[in-house]
Amino acid sequence: MQTIKTPFYQLEIGGTEGFITYCGNGFASRVLEGPVFEVDGELLQPVFSGVELVSETKLNAGVTEYRFHATYAALPDMALTLIARVAGGSPIFKFKYLLCGNGSHKLTKVSGEALDYCAFSVPKCASLTEVRFSEFNELTHSFCMNEVPVEESFFENGFDVMGPLLAGTDGAESFLLAYEHGSQYPDAFIHYCFTPERKAILSAKKGNYTAGTVLGENPFETVWFDFGAVKGGTDELAAAFREFQLKYATLNLESRKPYIFYNTWNYQERNKWWNRKAYLADMDEKRMLEEIDAAHKMGIEVFVVDTGWYEKTGDWIVNRERFADGMKAVKAKLDSYGMKLGLWIGPTLAAVTSEAYRKNPGCRIEWNGEAPEPKPIWETEESYGMCIVSPYWETLADTLISLAKELGVSYFKWDAIEQYGCNSPGHFHGNEGNTPEERADSYAFQVGVYMSKIVDKVCAACPEVIVDFDITEGRRSVGLGFLTAGKYFLINNGPYFANYNLPCEDDWTNIFVAPGAPRTWICRTPLTFDKWIPSVLFLTHYLPDDPQNSQDLNLASLVLGQNGIWGDLPAISEEGKGRFDEVLSKYKEVREDITAEAAIKSGMTGSGFECYEKLSSKTGKGVICAFSTVKDTFRYITRKKTDRVFWASVPVTVTPLANGTSLIEITFEKPGAAMVFFGASK
């Protein structure tokens, strides 16, 4: 048996009770049974003749990676490698498995997709909660978080749930198991199965592997899993997992920083539907420089040029007709203001005449032997759909690395990556020996895995790069998987007229595109994620348009962590630009404190009074954001202690209380929003 010790727990690997034993300091041990694979038609049980530590590597962010090698007792020519990443500052650790062989054994599916990743016993005194991160709510046209109790009848009747996170508690101690993969609920690829013996088994459901996979020089590799325990209830557990996601779940830590982002797309939409021009009518150097000047005045830090900047997809070379110097002037202007450059990318697209397609003609997306016809992409050349679960993934990664190094790009917005769509037998998701359905499921399972693989390669070469995956529509790989590498772009314009069975009065089919309160109601609703996953990982864009009342509604929403802005920046009044800069400068003084804390919410979204508290338990710094739909006086006592220095966006009365908290009183003369930044300079 091998042992890892941390300030929070001790891991025992290869013990007699289970393959991994998690021993918390001062509370109950948790035992995880090892994985069960079907090899050559037989179930290979996790019984080993020996376990040894083969490597220990220091990674960034205080994370250490351990690799353990275990030889199977029944098949001495087969071995299991456990990779565990342990952070000394967190009670949560992550792990995955590699199944290795000498080429004479294969994964099979005689009894269906037979793969149990791990199992554990659930004490009778413990209650379980399924935490879903991928429910697509048509009310908001957005993915949302949902917590669902696991009933006792689930054990009695062999029920299953999708997760990806399963949390257990007896009130005094709490624990969790999660898998890092993604799909839209209820389309499960991995699920938790319950047994009458009160066991929870984390199992493959579909697409996790293809029958006939040879276990040779290239091992079979699982996704990552997360496990941990804390003293206290699920709130304490969620706080620990949230901190884990912020600090330790990825090595690409630039994605966790609370920058202020601007994206050009909303103006491009306005040009199309309000100004009756082309999407790309003003996609040129003159307009971009004008927007950059306005963005600088507003305090924006990352300037993202959306679709149309390129000559052709796949190659992603700057369009010289729109940017004669290859975007050098744009980059120079951004550099002069200390701003970062971001670009829109369609990772699964390659123009018909592109060099990327010429080098990878066999990597086109295919369905039942037919490749879809090429289509124009946002008023640019016709493009083929490309499969990233194929050799094309490296072409894409290398292209992004070149853009980062040669053009100075530090942010990529990835768009339009659908989870389903390819069942070609010539890629990395099955061959002629597998059915088209199996190949399709394997593609859907692996597309998120390869997305993370691409980002990791890019960030290994260029650590300053952030990759953001657009999940503004359904049927995309959403969950904990992509968060191992990057972050999410959560909401575009929200629901369409069709979502609400409303007739569309013009060609712009989204409802919530105008300034004011309604759009902010939609965008704030998914802040429920913030309990388990920091809101900074769900970029959402708010509108900066005048008047000040609308600006304050959008700013008070933005500073809760979603941190995105888009609109017609040059059209904003100088006073309006100054208002944004004033508020965002206060936000920047305390944004690390805000990012570190989950939101405490009072009131319903869009109700009379709605309040969010994000104050640091350590410093008392942070923000209180209050929203009102009525004319009345709002009174609120903070849950946490506050710094005694504050700045408020409107006149407020703040009364320090004896226990260190504060009473806040705000009189709303009309519906609106107010922000109180504790710890920000006056």
The stretch 193-206 carries a mean pLDDT of: 98
Name the fold adopted by 602-678: Immunoglobulin-like (2.60.40)
Residue whose C-alpha is closest to residue 520's, from 591, 634, 677, 626? 626
| Cα four-point dihedral sign 297, 302, 307, 311 | positive
207 Ramachandran zone, left/alpha/beta (phi>0; psi -120 to 50): left
What confidence tier does 32 reach under pLDDT thresholds 50, 70, 90?
very high
Residue 26 confidence (pLDDT):
85
What confidence tier does 453 reach under pLDDT thresholds 50, 70, 90?
very high
134-145 pLDDT per residue, tens: 999 999 999 999
What confidence tier does 507 reach under pLDDT thresholds 50, 70, 90?
confident
554 with 625: CB under 8 angstroms? no
Residue 526 confidence (pLDDT):
96
294-320 pLDDT per residue, tens: 999 999 999 999 999 999 999 999 999
The stretch 440-453 carries a mean pLDDT of: 98
Residue 506, pLDDT > 90, answer: no
The stretch 645-674 carries a mean pLDDT of: 97
Residue 16, pLDDT > 80, answer: no
Classify domain 2-247 at the CATH superfamily level.
Answer: alpha-galactosidase from lactobacil brevis (2.70.98.60)
| Cα four-point dihedral sign 550, 556, 559, 561 | negative
Percent of the chain whose predicted confidence (pLDDT) is above 90: 97
Percent of the chain whose predicted confidence (pLDDT) is above 70: 100
Residue 15 confidence (pLDDT):
81
Domain boundary assignment for the chain: 2-247, 259-347+396-417+448-591, 602-678
378-395 pLDDT per residue, tens: 999 999 999 999 999 999
Classify domain 259-347+396-417+448-591 at the CATH superfamily level.
Answer: Aldolase class I (3.20.20.70)
Q: Mean pLDDT across the chain, nearest whole number?
A: 97
Distance CA 143, CA 334 (A): 33
Residue 682 confidence (pLDDT):
86
The Cα-based distances of 338 to 80, 291, 293, 341 in angstroms read: 48, 15, 12, 10
CB atoms within 10 A of CB 140: 21
Indicate the pTM of the whole model: 0.97
Residue whose C-alpha is closest to residue 250's, from 224, 228, 227, 229? 224
606-632 pLDDT per residue, tens: 999 999 999 999 999 999 999 999 999
CB atoms within 10 A of CB 528: 17
CB neighbour burial string for 262-286, b if at least 16 within 10 angstroms, e if fewer: bbbbbbbbbbbbeeeeebbebbbbe
Number of helical (H) and strand (E) elements in the chain, helices listed first: 11, 39
